[in-house]
Amino acid sequence: MKIAFVGKGGAGKSAIAGTFARALARRGESVLAIDSDPMPGLAFSLGLAVTEAPPIPDDAVIERKEGEEGPRFRLRPDLTGADAVDRYAVTGPDGVRFLQFGKLRTNVAPLVRSQFAFRQIVNDLPDDRWSLVGDLPGGTRQAFTGWGAYARTFLVVVEPTAKSLLSARRLARLAQADEGSHQVVAVANRVRGPEDADTVQRRTGLEVVAAVPWDEAFAEAERRGRAPIDDAPECPAVREVESMVARLVGQSV
């Protein structure tokens, strides 16, 4: 499985992606969770303290020499993407590996190096070693062409509100306009009834693969900085994400 969650900020990408990754790992898959969003999110919903997850260290990255071609920074040539995951991805609950792009702190400069390396790593992963679950930043084209190039399926997280539907339609168009053979589907989030999932289907034109209910316990987990699957394992939103995992496993997503 190689999937990535996209959608506008606040749609619920990180909360759903983290829960999805944990539930997938519990079914016995080797899961690599990939956070390309400079705002912290996925680490919490996986159940990892962000401090446990440093970005890729500077010494893994070399700078282009004068007269050389190619990008300014790249991964040290003796490291493959898989080596880099083995070394730098932290291991979270249920054995989920977690690789992050590097969080914005006061000084952005040191991050530039690790961000080049990050992109190279996620585009150089062996085909069958991990199931990939990505959390992509906001709603731009970059998501599909650059940061999320590893994904076979994009899941657009969309709420049944006018604003969110509009932005999901835009995202769906961007994703579909892109070359490559990926598919695009929707996850309706914060639904309050079956008609909400229908609205998402109708207004985005995308197949809705899950309808995650509005769930106070899901939001409460976030307020406590805990993974929803640990904090409220029986809550309806977690249950729906688990059923989505069960439905998607075995499909070529």
Among 29, 35, 94, 222, binds ligand ADP (CB under 6 A): 222
Question: Maximum Cα–Cα distance for the chain, whole Å?
Answer: 61
Among 1, 2, 13, 238, binds ligand ADP (CB under 6 A): 13
User: Quick check: 9 binds ligand ADP (CB under 6 A)?
Assistant: yes
Binding-site ranges for Mg ion (CB under 5 A): 13-14, 41
What minimum distance in Å lies between the beta carbon of 86 and ligand ADP?
A: 27
User: Quick check: 219 binds ligand ADP (CB under 6 A)?
Assistant: yes
**How far does CA 136 lie from the centroid of its chain?**
5
User: Quick check: 190 binds ligand ADP (CB under 6 A)?
Assistant: yes
Nearer to ligand ADP, 60 or 184 (CB): 184
Partner that binds at residue 54, options ligand ADP, Mg ion, none, CB closer than 5 to 8 Å by kind: none
User: Quick check: 156 binds ligand ADP (CB under 6 A)?
Assistant: no
Find all residues with CB under 8 Å of 86, minimum gap 6, and list them: none
Please state, in angstroms and as integers, the Cα–Cα distance from residue 224 to each residue in 37, 127, 132, following that order: 21, 36, 26
Residues in the chain: 253
User: Quick check: 214 binds ligand ADP (CB under 6 A)?
Assistant: yes
Partner that binds at residue 218, options Mg ion, ligand ADP, none, CB closer than 5 to 8 Å by kind: ligand ADP
Per CB under 6 A, which region of 3-11, 111-119, 180-188, 196-204 contacts ligand ADP?
3-11
The answer to whether 23 touches 231, Cβ cutoff 8 Å, is no
Partner that binds at residue 99, options Mg ion, ligand ADP, none, CB closer than 5 to 8 Å by kind: none
DSSP H/E element including 63: strand 61-63
CB atoms within 10 A of CB 204: 25
**Interatomic CA distance for residues 239 and 234, integer angstroms:** 6
User: Quick check: 11 binds ligand ADP (CB under 6 A)?
Assistant: yes
Interaction mask 15-44, ligand ADP, x per CB under 6 A:
x-------------------------x---
Partner that binds at residue 237, options Mg ion, ligand ADP, none, CB closer than 5 to 8 Å by kind: ligand ADP
What b/e readout covers 155-181, taking b as 16+ CB neighbours within 10 angstroms? bbbbbbeeebbebbbbbbebbeebeee
The answer to whether 243 touches 210, Cβ cutoff 8 Å, is yes
The answer to whether 158 touches 58, Cβ cutoff 8 Å, is no
Amino acid identity of residue 102, one-letter, is G
Nearer to ligand ADP, 39 or 108 (CB): 39
Per CB under 6 A, which region of 4-12, 27-35, 122-130, 201-209 contacts ligand ADP?
4-12
Nearer to ligand ADP, 19 or 115 (CB): 19
Q: Pairing mode, if any, of strands 208-213 and 183-191? A: parallel
Name the site residues for ligand ADP (rule: CB under 6 A): 7, 9-15, 41, 189-190, 212, 214-215, 218-219, 222, 237
